[in-house]
Structure 1
Amino acid sequence: MIRFLKAATRVVRQELASGESGWVSLSSSEAISSSGVTSAAGKIVSEKAALNVSAVWACVSKTAQIVSTLPLDLFEKQSDGSRAKIENDLSQMVKLSPNTIQTGVEHWEGQEAKKLLSGNAYSEKILLGKRLVGLRPLHNVKPVRIPTGFKYRVTENGRQYDLPAEKVLHMRGFGAGDGLGLSAVSYGANSMGLALAADETAGAVFANGLMASGILKADQSLTEPQRAKLQEMLEAYTGSKKAGKVMALPGVLEFQQLQFNPEDIQMLETRRFSVEDVCRWFGTPPIVIGHASEGQTMWGSGVESIMLSWLTTGINPLLCRNEARFNRDLIPIEKRRRWYFEYNREAMLQMDSVAKGEFLSKMRTSGIMSADEARTKINLPKRGGAADQLIAQTALAPLEKLMTGEK
């Protein structure tokens, strides 16, 4: 393991010395795409802009954090149908330290966030000969179709270069029927643009002293040139960025302010709907990001059912998709029929101690798991002896067994 880390560090240092590493921070313009889609609300929605919507930030962060913190192990199929956990260099690199800068959790959290926003996430494979020794996150990548699949055009540090498919781990999101995942930001631009416009408008109104809009009154009829001039003036004060500004009027006009209650000013219904609408795009129940529907509490059996449903229908498909990609692109070709990566989905039960206790009890009393195996699941030391034996309840048994006292 020490030799592996030294080798990986040497490769990365060589790239840094040659100026080819292109490391960027997640807050940089290269890490999060600044180009976007113009929404019906007039706002340009990009990945970076979308993250200014609290609901988008919460949906992406919650999902990425759960996926990246679940234990991920490498297993080998045994001839008797069982499996054995492998703790080799590949397993340690993927789980603990994909590169010299990030931990495993940090790397996969960033990749999952990128995949949720844009539909695709990319990492460069750092190779030592034919051996995979690291993964470096790539940003500003454009996949280019070629007869054999894709090559990847990377723009970093003001220069552009191509990487072949075998040098890139390409993580796809939902809808990768043509080889590319679909972007929730692009397809959900109208929903996210509405949320951005509502937040901006509400903020502009408060910034200008809660001065609500009104109507213009004149004591006499206006000529066509006057109406045209007035229309030109009004257009200069139209738009969410200009909400609440005070207009200078000619003497023949009178401004009559319209009164709005605080809920209207803050557009609470619109903003509440935006939270739920954004959640649909990311498949995250609103309750997960701290938003309860009207009349719904944040606690109770109903919320527990929602959480379990999300873990089953929302998180599990993401895990299956990641496992399939790891098995295809990270495991050496000669080992793919025997080795495979798998997330420990039982770890998701840690958040529910009652469910965890019932699960371990059933596994113990049905003869599937010994007491020591159950104790390992909750980080307790093994006891050995009888605690390492399988047992099962016998509520029903043949009469001849009962008469002889056998169990």
Structure 2
Amino acid sequence: MTFMETLRGWLGAPERRDYQPPVTMTTLGVGVPCEPANPYLAENLAVVLAAVNILSGTMAALPVIVYTRRQGERIEQPDHWLQKLVRGGPNSQQVWGGLIESAVASVELHGNALVEIERDENGSVNGLRFIPWPWVTAQLLSTGRMAFDVYEPQMPAMGARKRRLLAADVIHLKDRSDDGLIGRSRLSRARETLRAATAQQTFATAFLERGAQPSGVLEVPGVMTQEQRTTLREAFKSRHGGADNAGSTLVLDGGISWKSAQISPEDAELLASRRFSVEEIARVFGVPPPLVGDLSHGTFTNSREAARWFGQFSLTPRVRRIEAELNRALFGPGSRYEIEFDMSDLLRSDPETRWASHKIAVEAGILDPDEIRQIEGWNKRKVEAAKTPVEGEQAA
């Protein structure tokens, strides 16, 4: 039985001429299905994913230097055990960049990240292992120290393995904290901003699923029962709802008429609102919009400036916090060792600025050409040994 035959069967004779007030059936939209502060669902927003990726990926690519200070000079320690973990990997599952990327992303999404310090029987550090923050429950002990209970998932039949790590056993990275103990994510601080962006995306998805057609009203002469209303709604949805049915021909009889009852996305300024949400969320993460793909106001010049702005104001505060926590957790106060993320590598994508700064450094006597070559990853220039006169020859 076709859709029209079904309608004719229960609507009765369409020739009735006595006036009956119309019964309207509105095609409803959908609401916001998720809590935007949930980090996994928030990453469904492309701008959140892009911001987290650019921050975590860039920091993961920064070279790491371990050095000591002696008589005011900084001396690199390429054979330090931490440099070996950087080169060979902090654990059997991750390289160093993967560990930093996971930890930074966890800080941006959850407000906290936990890295376990693995030690041998002598107490020496032999590995670092990232622990997902959803596995962790933090507690403040009566001694004033922090403890982290880790519930590590096992096989389904075995449940979760619980173990306790003390502050000395972990590297605890955190975003800005309200109590000094546990960080609070930017997602939770900007809940309403993310809620609006999530609602806009949900509306856009539902609009496309309805075949990119605005919702409206079916007007039917006469009074309908609840069963007839449900049948009409479901029959109309199955025939004309969804993107697969976009553009299908609408044929109505029996006095049924269709009237559009919803403003279009253009009238609702949906596209402009979504662009503004991109800018808002970029502000939340402190990332210039061109770096998360918003080039609506971008030019070549201000995109270059945005990259510098990103290094100075977005990355530097985060990098300095990570350096301080790594130094505290791995070396302790009073240690002669320090760790540093070399941010000068960020200039490698701007050769004009990089070589201009090299030239100034050489002319001012700050660096020599061989030091410049070392910065660029080249070997020192080979200097031929001075030719000594052989016996019997007269020196020039």
TM-score range (shorter-chain normalised) is: 0.7 to 0.9
Q: SS where residue 116 of structure 1 aligns?
A: helix
Contact 1:124–1:169 (8 Å) recurs in 2: yes
Contact 1:116–1:183 (8 Å) recurs in 2: yes
Contact 1:202–1:265 (8 Å) recurs in 2: no
1:381 to 379, 382, 388: 379
Q: Show the counterpart of 1:11.
A: none
Structure 1 stretches lacking a partner, 5+ long: 1-39, 387-407
Contact 2:150–2:164 (8 Å) recurs in 1: yes
Q: Which stretches of structure 1, 4 residues or more, deviate above 4 A after TM superposition? A: 215-220, 242-246, 251-255, 259-262
Matches of 2:86 and 2:145, distance apart in 1:
25
Q: Show the counterpart of 1:372.
A: 370
Q: CA deviation at 1:196?
A: 2.5
Q: CA deviation at 1:90?
A: 2.3
Deviation per residue, 1:310-342 (Å, 9 max, x gap):
211110001100110011001156xx4321111
Structure 2 stretches lacking a partner, 5+ long: 1-30, 247-251, 385-396
Q: Show the counterpart of 2:292.
A: 289
Q: Show the counterpart of 2:309.
A: 309
Quick check: 1:81 aligned with 2:72?
yes
Distance 1:253 1:226, change over 3 A: farther
2:282 to 261, 279, 283: 279
Contact 1:42–1:193 (8 Å) recurs in 2: no
Larger Rg: 2
Matches of 2:178 and 2:348, distance apart in 1:
32
Contact 1:216–1:254 (8 Å) recurs in 2: yes
Residues 79-118 of structure 1: pairs in structure 2 closer than 5 A:
80-87=71-78, 88-94=80-86, 96-118=88-110
Q: Show the counterpart of 1:64.
A: 56
Residues 6-405 of structure 1: pairs in structure 2 closer than 5 A:
41=32, 43-45=34-36, 46-78=38-70, 80-87=71-78, 88-94=80-86, 96-128=88-120, 129-139=122-132, 140-147=135-142, 148-156=144-152, 157=154, 158-159=159-160, 160-175=162-177, 177-215=179-217, 255-258=258-261, 261=264, 263-264=266-267, 267-293=270-296, 296-300=297-301, 302-331=302-331, 336-383=334-381
- Identical aligned residues as a percent: 25
Q: SS where residue 116 of structure 2 aligns?
A: strand
Deviation per residue, 1:156-185 (Å, 9 max, x gap):
123233211111111112336522211122
Q: CA deviation at 1:201?
A: 1.9
Q: CA deviation at 1:188?
A: 2.4
Contact 2:86–2:95 (8 Å) recurs in 1: no
Q: CA deviation at 1:264?
A: 4.9
Q: Which moved more, 1:336-345 or 1:376-385?
A: 376-385
Q: CA deviation at 1:385?
A: 5.7
Q: SS where residue 83 of structure 1 aligns?
A: strand
Letter in 2 for 1:103: V
Matches of 1:362 and 1:174, distance apart in 2:
38
Matches of 1:337 and 1:168, distance apart in 2:
18
Q: SS where residue 308 of structure 1 aligns?
A: helix
Letter in 2 for 1:144: Q
How many residues end up aligned between the 2 structures? Answer: 332
Deviation per residue, 1:51-96 (Å, 9 max, x gap):
1111011000001111111111111111x21011112112221454
Contact 1:96–1:105 (8 Å) recurs in 2: no
Q: Higher relative CO (CA 8 A, sep ≥ 6), structure 1 or 2?
A: 2
